[in-house]
Every structure is written in structure tokens, then in C-alpha cells.
Structure 1
Amino acid sequence: MKIKSITFSPQEPKLKIIKNVFVYISEKHEQIIVTPFYKEPNQGYRYSQEECEVLKIDSSYDLIGEAIKRNIQKFDIKEYDAKRSSKKDGYTAFHVSKEKSMRGFEKNYTLIDVSGLTDRNNTFRIQTRLGFINRLEITSTISAHCDNAELGKLVMKMFNSEIVERK
């Protein structure tokens, strides 16, 4: 008797999108802002959603990782509302921050981008650009199915990276 070989392939997602959130961290203001995004279907650009999640900087790694995963699942496709401000000060993270100017926001908050590595979003790519002379970028990856504490610890480790110029 001959048995046919059956191969299974996973279903293709209807829309292939890479989800992402921005995580802004400030030691000065002792807060973490997690900002989910929308993707504009016609133009393809991303813009921040109306609601951000704000945590204390001394929150547990588990709580930080949970907030990141929860907000990355809020990623959605939505047409851009022309009534929203397109200027930099239209960012919702800036409005929930404790800064009075965009310049102060950019100076006192470190941006960490957490996004899917592929359109399946099974792996997160975490990257940050440190505000030093040569604008060094640090990138790491982690499974999207990792413990919340592992994700939170990796994000905070990247934030706390100390890279100095050597003479």
C-alpha cells in the first residue's frame, strides 16, 4: 500500500503588515510611554494612535513587556484623518510627556522602536539610536512569544546602554 505524502503550509495572512510600537523612556521624568501605530492603507505610512500607555520607569520588566505586547496588538490599518495635526507636535507621545517643547521631548526621551521582523510578526526587532556624536544604532531581536519579563528586560537594557567616546 502506498501512502501519499502530505505537506502542510501555514495560511498566508490577508494583509501582510509589520506591526510596531514606539517606546519613549525618560530618566528625567521617570516615565515610559508606549505608543501604538496605525498604517495608512493608501499611502502606506504609519502614524501614532490617539491613546498612549504611560508607565513609571521603575515598573517591573514583566509590566513593561506586557504593555509593549498589548500595544503592538493595537496596530491597525486606518485612513489618516486630515483634521489631525501633521506637525511634529501632533505626536500623541509628546502630549502625554511632561515636556513643554518638542526640542525638550527629543532631548529628554530616548526612542526605542519595537517592530515585527517579518510580516508574520513572530520575532520582534528592537532598535534604538543613541544621542551620541556618531548616532550609533543598537539592534536586537527576540521571539514575540517570549516571557513579558524578558522583553521588558531587553528594552531596559538597551535604554541603559552606556557607550562613551574613547580618547
Structure 2
Amino acid sequence: MKIKSLFFKVPEPKLKTIKNVTVYISEKYSEIIIAPIFKDTIGGYSYEQEVCEKLELNTSYEKIGETIKVNFNKFDIKENKKEKHNKSDWPAFKLSREKTITGFEKYYKRFSISGVNEYNTILTIETISNNLHEIELTTSISFHCDNTELGKRIMKLFNSEVCYKSNI
């Protein structure tokens, strides 16, 4: 009779990381651009994936929330092969209708959506403002919330006075 070894190796957990996605909303062009993110394996910095999604500004809250969740789950860890990074290669900018980087940064409000911890069950939505006062808003919501609630939450931030009026 053979006796099995009492020593065994505990399986390593899969790598868990905090995911994120960037959302750009333009009232001028009446569109929303959702950019999934890669995290570089070597440098640890984040950068936008080449394929972004575009929605009309009047899209239903449910569709906005669903699209954000789908793109949030496209987050991946991948080595960035590009040696040189030009702002003109910015995937969200290339998908936009704006002709200049300055115009893009002026007419598209940027929101960062990221997980709170490595399980990504709670999402934090932050405004990234370009105004002089540097006032930013942050809100949290469950990843498992109704898609409509997520869509409403991001549109409430977009329509807030701080984001809406950059000349306060």
C-alpha cells in the first residue's frame, strides 16, 4: 500500500488587481467615449486600449451603465510595446470629433472609474477637471448595481455645476 504525501503545495491565487476605465463626455459633440485601460507589466502605469466605444449623449442610462461595465471588464495587464508616446496617438482623442488635443481637453469632460480594492465590487467615479479651481467630485457605487443606476450616477456628475461650468 502506497501512502500519499502529506505535504502539498497550496495553489497560488490568481493575480487580482484594481481595474479602471476612463469616460469622456462632450456636450458640444453630444457624445460619450468609453476607453478601457491596460496596465503596463513593467512600469506599472496605465494606458488606454486602442479600441474605445462611442455612444450618443442621449443614450439611455441603462445602455451607458452596461457599456461602462463591459469596458471595465476589458481591463487587462499587458506590456506596452510602444517606446514613444505622443498625445496625438491618444485613442480617445483619435475617436473624438475634435481636431486638436487642446480642444479635446476643453470640450470633453473626463471621468475615471476604478475599483476600490482588488475584488472590484465597489466602483469609485471621479471627475478629472481642467478648471482653475481644481474641484473634483467623487462618488461610489456597487459594481453589481443596476446598469441604469450607474448610467444615472455618471450623468449626474457630468451635469453637476462643478463639471458643467468650467468658468466658475
Q: TM-score range by the shorter chain?
A: 0.7 to 0.9
Letter of the aligned partner of 1:156 in structure 2?
A: M
Cα-to-partner distance string for 1:133-166 (whole Å, 9 max, x where unaligned): 311010000000000000000000000001379x
Give the equivalent residue in structure 2 for 1:103: 102
1:29-108 equivalences in 2 (<5 Å) = 29-82=29-82, 86-108=85-107
TM-score scaled by length of structure 1 = 0.87
Distance in 1 between residues matched to 2:13 and 2:137, nearest whole Å: 30
Structure 2 unaligned spans of 5+: 1-10
Letter of the aligned partner of 2:94 in structure 1?
A: H
Give the equivalent residue in structure 2 for 1:25: 25
Deviation of residue 131 (structure 1)? 3.6
Letter of the aligned partner of 2:97 in structure 1?
A: K
**Contact residue 112 and residue 128 of structure 2 kept, 8 A:** no
Distance in 1 between residues matched to 2:68 and 2:12, nearest whole Å: 25
- Are residue 15 (structure 1) and residue 4 (structure 2) matched? no
Distance in 1 between residues matched to 2:28 and 2:69, nearest whole Å: 25
Using the aligned pairs only, state the percent identity: 48
TM-score scaled by length of structure 2 = 0.87
Distance in 1 between residues matched to 2:115 and 2:142, nearest whole Å: 10
Which secondary structure does the structure 1 equivalent of 2:161 belong to? coil
Give the equivalent residue in structure 2 for 1:114: 113
Deviation of residue 90 (structure 1)? 1.5
Letter of the aligned partner of 1:25 in structure 2?
A: I
Distance in 2 between residues matched to 1:141 and 1:118, nearest whole Å: 12
Q: 1:61 to 1:42 in 2, by over 3 A?
A: same
Structure 1: 4+ residue segments shifted above 2 A: 129-133
